[in-house]
Chain A
Amino acid sequence: MQLERPQRQVAMVMDLNKCLGCQTCTIACKKLWNRDEGAGYAYWNNVETWPGEGYPRRWNETGGRDAAGQVKRGEVPDLESGYGRVWRFDHQQVVHSDSRKGDQWLKPDGDPSWGPNWDEDHGAGRYPQDNHYFYLPRICNHCTHPACLDACPRGAISKRSEDGIVLVDQDDCHGYRFCVEACPYKKVYFDTERQVANKCLFCLPRIEQGVAPACARQCPGRLRFVGYLDDAAGPIHKLVAQWQVALPLHPEYGLEPNVFYVPPLSPPALDAQGRPTGAPRIPVETLEGLFGPPVRAALATLEAERAKRKRGEPSELMDLLIAYDWNDMFKLDAPAGAVVREDAS
C-alpha cells in the first residue's frame, strides 16, 4: 500500500562511531513512556551489539518483508527465547543473608537463557587479528511506508501528516498483532496486560513543543541528531541529503525508514604477524548487509573528510558530526506560541 507522503517528516540520524553502548537512551525512554506491567519486556529504544543476534532475537529475519521488499509472513517473537523475560532480583535475600561474604550473589529468578543484550560485546572475528563489534541503537523508524500500518486490519495505526510520526490508537487496537508480525524491524510490541499494541511515539508531545526525544537529548555520546528532513539548514538534511553519509537501516525492505545511521569506521585488521592489513576490522560486507551498497560511498566520504581534518584542513562534515555545540544537534521548529523549555531533559 502506498500512503500519501506526510507534509513534513521528522527524522533522526545516529552516528554509530560515537555510541558507547551505555543504554542511557534505553532507560530514558523506558522510564518516560513504557512502564506498564504488561510491557516490561518491551524496549521501544534498544541498543544491541552488532554483529549479534539483536533484540528481539533474529529481528532481521522474522519480519514481514523479504529482501526484495515483498510481504512475507512474519513472526510474533515469544517472551523466553525471542524478547527475553523481565528478570526479577531478590535484593532482600542477599542483603539480609547470614551466609559468608561472597556466598550469596544477586542473581535473576529462574534460569534465563536469553534477554536484551545477552550477547553484549561478543561481536565477531578472531582476536587479535580482526575481532570487532559496534553498538546499534534502534527505535521505530517512523517509516514512510509503514508495514505496521499496512498490516492492521482495523486501521488502528496512522501516520501523522504534520510530522510523519507513526502512532497506534490503542482504543481501536484489538490486539491481533499483525503489526508485530509485519514490522521487519520488530518495533511494535504488545502489552500483555492491556492486550494492545505499543510502540515508540517519537516523543510526540515533546516534538510538538520543539523539544527532541528523550533518547536523543539524554545521549551522553552526542550521536543523535533530530530535525525535519526537508529543513535544508538542519543537521538531518545535511547528513542525509547533502553529505549522504547517513543511511537507512535495511533499505531493501522498501519501507523508507526515517531513522538514519552514519556507519562506523574501524581500525585496520591485522595479519598473522600483527601488521595492519589496511582492511577495516568491521568488514564492509557486514555494513552493506545493514545499510545496502551506498555504505561504501558513505564510508569513503567519512574517511576523506576525516583525513582532511587530520591534515588541519576544515571539514564541515566532521564539525557537524563532532557536535561541538549540543544545541546544534536538534533543529525542530516549534509551532507558533509554543514554549520551549531549554532545561527539558
Chain B
Amino acid sequence: MKHEVKLVAAPTGMQPGGYVPKAYADRNVALTPSLEIEVARPPGIWRIRLRWPCPDPVRDVRADPSLFPDAAALFSPRAEASPWVTMGAPGLGVDGVLWRADTERLIAVQAEGLGTMKRSEAPAGWRYDAKHAGGVWQLELTLIGWSTLDASGRVAAAVWRGSAQERGGLKSVSPGWLGLA
C-alpha cells in the first residue's frame, strides 16, 4: 500500500520554552513538502519505505557544531486519544522509531508530549537501509515486533532537513495520524 502525504510545518508556536516560538514564528511552510510511504506486511514484520525530496543531504555532522543531520521518524499512538501534533500527552503516549543519517542504528523513541521524548536503543529486529539519489532520500525500515503499531495501525511521520538546521520542533510532519493497516 502506498500513500503520498502532503507534509505541513510543525507549529512552532506550541514548542516548549520561550525561544523557539518567537525566534521561529515565521517557520510555517514545510521545508519537506511531501513524503511517500509504502507499506509491505510480511508476517510479523512492518516493512515501511519512506521517500522524500532532499536536495542537499547531510550525513556526517561530526566535523562542525553547526551541522545537523537529515532525519525522519514514525510514531504510533499508544492510546486511541493520543494526540499526534504534540507527540502524545501525559498518559496518552506515543512510541516509534527515529532514523538519523549520521547514525548506524535506528533509535527507539517514546514521548508523552512535546519536549518529553526519550531515546533508547532500538530492538534488535529493527533495521534500516537508506539511500540518497537524484535529490531524494529513500529509507526502508524493517521493524519486527512494533506492538504499538500492530495495535493501532496508525502512524504520524516527521522529517528533518539537516541543511536547513531543522531539529527538535523544527520539522515537517504529516497532518495527522495515517492509517497503515
Contact = CB atoms under 8 A, between A and B. Distances in A.
Interface of A: 1, 38, 41, 64, 70-74, 76-80, 82-83, 147, 150-155, 174-178, 180-182, 189-190, 192-193, 195
Given A76-B165, A79-B64, A174 B119 contact: yes
Contacts of A80: 64
Contacts of A174: 117, 119, 168
A182 B63 CA distance: 22
Contacts of A38: 62
A290 B124 CA distance: 55
A41 B116 CA distance: 30
Nearest to B103: A195
B65 A83 contact: yes
Contacts of B168: 153, 174, 176, 178
B17 interface: yes
B164 interface: no
Nearest to A82: B66
A195 B68 CA distance: 10
B115 interface: yes
B118 to A, nearest CB: 9
B61 interface: yes
Given A76-B165, A77-B66, A82-B66, A153 B61 contact: no
A174 B103 CA distance: 14
A71 B119 contact: no
A76 B65 contact: yes
Interface residues of B, number: 25
B19 A182 contact: yes
A82 B66 CA distance: 10
Contacts of A41: 65
A149 B117 CA distance: 18
Given A153-B168, A174-B117, A176-B168, A64 B63 contact: no
B64 to A, nearest CB: 4
Interface of B: 15-20, 22-24, 61-66, 68, 114-117, 119, 165, 167-169
Contacts of A1: 17-18
A180 B117 CA distance: 20
A189 B17 contact: no
A177 B119 CA distance: 17
Contact of B23 (A64, A78, A79): A64
A79 B66 contact: yes
A193 to B, nearest CB: 6
A272 to B, nearest CB: 47
A178 B19 contact: yes
Contacts of A150: 17-19
State the 3 A-B residue pairs at the shortest beta-carbon distance, nearest first. A151-B19, A190-B65, A73-B23
Contact of A71 (B15, B23, B64, B68): B23
B35 to A, nearest CB: 22
Contacts of B61: 192, 195
Given A71-B22, A147-B19, A151-B17, A192 B115 contact: no
A82 B68 CA distance: 16
A174 B16 CA distance: 14
B19 to A, nearest CB: 3
Contacts of B167: 175-177
Contacts of B65: 41, 76-79, 83, 177, 180, 189-190, 192
A38 B63 CA distance: 9
A195 B103 CA distance: 11
B40 to A, nearest CB: 31
A195 to B, nearest CB: 8
10 contacts: A70-B22, A71-B18, A73-B23, A76-B165, A80-B64, A153-B168, A154-B16, A181-B19, A190-B65, A192-B62
A83 B117 CA distance: 30
Looking at B18, B61, B116, the one whose CB has the most chain A CB atoms below 10 A away is: B18
B23 A153 contact: no
B4 to A, nearest CB: 29
Nearest to A148: B19
A17 B22 CA distance: 39
B20 A151 contact: yes
B18 A155 contact: no
A193 B62 CA distance: 6
A132 B62 CA distance: 39
A71 B65 CA distance: 22
A41 B15 CA distance: 30
